[in-house]
Every structure is written in structure tokens, then in C-alpha cells.
Amino acid sequence: MSVTAKEPEKIRIQKNFDQIAWMAMRYSGVLLIPLAFGHMILQDVVVGVHQITTDYAVERMATLGWKLYDIFLLAFAFGHGMNGVRQVFRDYIHNPRSFRIVSSILFVVWLVISVIGAITLLAINPAMGR
Amino acid sequence: MSNLKTTLTGYTGYRGREGHWAFLLHRITGLGVVLFLAIHILDTSFVYFAPQLYDEVLKVYRSTLFGIGEVVLVFCLFYHGVNGIRIAYLDLLAPKAWTIEKTRRSAYLVLVITLVLWVPSAGYMIYNLLRHNFGMFGG
């Protein structure tokens, strides 16, 4: 019998949201290594919270390069994080209806906080400083 | 409630060793980081929505309690990131290496890399905390 020698058959499955999310978690995670590590090492370790002032924050977020950096960080980090929370809930909520409700709540929380962050990043301009 | 009990006994009773500990650490550090991130996005929005309140936010961030929390946060993000690279590498590039022996070794490697990144960072942050909050090293 040559059962073991047989190559596994490749089958195509219709991609659903969670398959895309699974991939997105890995790709966004890799992207977040330079983005999130860079942000944290610079602000928490190198600069340090004692050197950060409102003027420093305004000046930084008004700079185009940092604005773009922060927009990417906001989009990828918080999306990655909230989908992670959703995956944790999935492990404990087995009722599909309950899980849909929890997912919807998490989606709204994600959207509201992301919009608040995006407004902040987009609205801050150099004139606000002093 | 019985669900929570099952979860906790499952977490402590399951003897998957390194792979299991890595899973738990990944989950706890991830939840810690995303909780901080939500707070951090909202407090940073004060810079635009209520600049006069942002000074109060900074005062909280400079407190000793938050300073210690910050050192823990840095560990969480470093661990979650380094272990995340391990997961992405194994899932996307080397799925055949998802064996007990190999993942046990890579779980230790992740911990070593995390400590190499975290110990100097934590040392420098604690130095700054002692300098600013306790007047040590010449204040």
C-alpha cells in the first residue's frame, strides 16, 4: 500500500474574513516590529517621559514624516491589537450570536478610538505650538 | 463563572511547557499592550482636543507608579514582538518547523532576545526615573 507516498491534494477554499485576518495579523505584526519598536525605543527609552512636553508632542506630530509614521502606527497597531482581543474572546464565547455581538462592540470601539486618533494626527499643525 | 474556572485551571494545569508558556505570555503581553494603546491614543488626542489638560497627562506619566508600569510595558511589547516574529516565521515560511523540539528551543531563544533588548532599556529607564523622581545621580 502506498498511502504514505501520495502527495496531499491541494484544494481551494473560499477565503473568509478570518482567513484574511489570520494572514493580516502576521503581515501587520512583521511591519509593526520597526514601527512600534522604533516608536517605543525613541519615546520611552531614548527621549524619556520626563523630557516630553506638550510643545514637543505638537512639534513632532506637526512634522510630515512623523505624522505619516504615526498614522501607519495607529492604523496597524490598533487594528492588530483589537483583532487580537477579538481572537481572545473567540476562545471563550462559543455561541455564534454572542460572538457576533461582541465583535460588533469591539468594531465600534476600534472605529471610535481610531477616528479620534486620526483626527488628532491630521489636525495638528505647526501653528498650534505657541 | 465556571467558564472562567475552566479557563484558569486549563491555563495552569496544562503541561505543554515552553510552547504553552509562550502562548500564555504572548496573550498576556498582547492584552497589556492593547489596553495601554487604547489609553495612549486617547490621552495623546488631548494634545489637539484639550492641550491644557495634556500637562496633567504628562504629570501622571512622570509618576513613579507609571514609570514602573512603563518598564513592564516595554517588556510586554518586546516579548510580544519577538515572539510574534517567531510565529510569523513559522507560519509563513517554515510551517514544517512547528515541532515540539524546535518550538521549545525557539521559545527560549525568544526569551533571550527579549531580555537582551529589555534589560538595557529598563536599566536606562529606571536610571532616569531615579534621577528625576528621587533626585539620585545628581537629580
Report pLDDT for A129.
54
- Is there a contact between A120 and B37 if contact means CB atoms under 8 Å apart? no
Reported as a pLDDT band with limits 50, 70 and 90, residue B14 is confident
What is A17-128's CATH number? 1.20.1300
Chain B nearest C-alpha distance from A49 (Å): 6
Quick one: average pLDDT of B89-107?
Answer: 93
Cell numbers 472605529 label which residue? A111
**Domain map (residue ranges) of chain A:** 17-128
Quick one: average pLDDT of A21-43?
Answer: 97
Write the secondary structure of chain A as one string of H (helix), E (strand) and C (coil): CCCCCCCCCCCCCCCCHHHHHHHHHHHHHHHHHHHHHHHHHHHHHHHCCCCCCHHHHHHHHHCHHHHHHHHHHHHHHHHHHHHHHHHHHHHHCCCHHHHHHHHHHHHHHHHHHHHHHHHHHHHCCHHHCC
Report pLDDT for B123.
97
For residue B31, the SS3 value is: helix
ipTM: 0.91
Question: What values do phi and psi take at B6, rounded to 5?
Answer: -60, -45
* Measured distance CA(B119)–CA(A49) in Å, rounded: 18
- Is there a contact between A45 and B41 if contact means CB atoms under 8 Å apart? no
> Is A18 a residue whose pLDDT tops 70?
yes
* Measured distance CA(A6)–CA(A50) in Å, rounded: 64
> Is A118 a residue whose pLDDT tops 90?
yes
- Inter-residue contact A36 to B79 (CB < 8 Å): no
Chain B contact set for A52 (CB, 8 A)? 58, 61
- Quote the number of domains for chain B: 1
Question: What values do phi and psi take at B15, rounded to 5?
Answer: -105, 60
* Measured distance CA(B108)–CA(B124) in Å, rounded: 25
Facing A36 at nearest CB: one of B38, B77, B128: B77
List the single best residue of B41, B64, B127 to mutate versus A (max A Cβ within 10 A).
B41
Report pLDDT for B9.
80
Reported as a pLDDT band with limits 50, 70 and 90, residue A3 is low
A53 in contact with chain B, both atoms CB, cutoff 8 A: yes
B105 domain-assigned: yes
Reported as a pLDDT band with limits 50, 70 and 90, residue B1 is low
A18 in contact with chain B, both atoms CB, cutoff 8 A: no
B54-93 tens-digit pLDDT? 999 999 999 999 999 999 999 999 999 999 999 999 999 9
Report pLDDT for B50.
92
Report pLDDT for B133.
95
Nearest chain A alpha carbon to B123: A45
Q: What's the mean pLDDT when you consider all of chain B?
A: 93
List the single best residue of B26, B36, B47, B89 to mutate versus A (max A Cβ within 10 A).
B47
- Is there a contact between A26 and B42 if contact means CB atoms under 8 Å apart? no
B53 domain-assigned: no
Reported as a pLDDT band with limits 50, 70 and 90, residue A48 is very high
Quick one: average pLDDT of A64-80?
Answer: 97
Reported as a pLDDT band with limits 50, 70 and 90, residue A97 is very high
Cell numbers 486549563 label which residue? B10
* Measured distance CA(A27)–CA(A76) in Å, rounded: 10
Quick one: average pLDDT of A66-77?
Answer: 97
B80 domain-assigned: yes
Chain B contact set for A48 (CB, 8 A)? 125, 128
Report pLDDT for B2.
65
- Annotate B61-122 with DSSP letters as a single string: HHSHHHHHHHHHHHHHHHHHHHHHHHHHIIIII-GGG--HHHHHHHHHHHHHHHHHHHHHHH
Q: Could you tell me how many CB contacts below 8 A there are between chain A and chain B?
A: 106
Cβ atoms within 10 A of the Cβ of A31, count?
15
B112 domain-assigned: yes
Reported as a pLDDT band with limits 50, 70 and 90, residue A83 is very high
Q: Which residue has the higher pLDDT, A87 or A9?
A: A87
- Is there a contact between A120 and B91 if contact means CB atoms under 8 Å apart? no
- What's the domain range around B97? 21-30+60-133
Reported as a pLDDT band with limits 50, 70 and 90, residue B11 is confident
Reported as a pLDDT band with limits 50, 70 and 90, residue A5 is low
Rounded alpha-carbon distances, angstroms, from residue B45 to A122, B24, B41:
11, 32, 6
A88 in contact with chain B, both atoms CB, cutoff 8 A: yes
Chain B contact set for A85 (CB, 8 A)? 31, 34
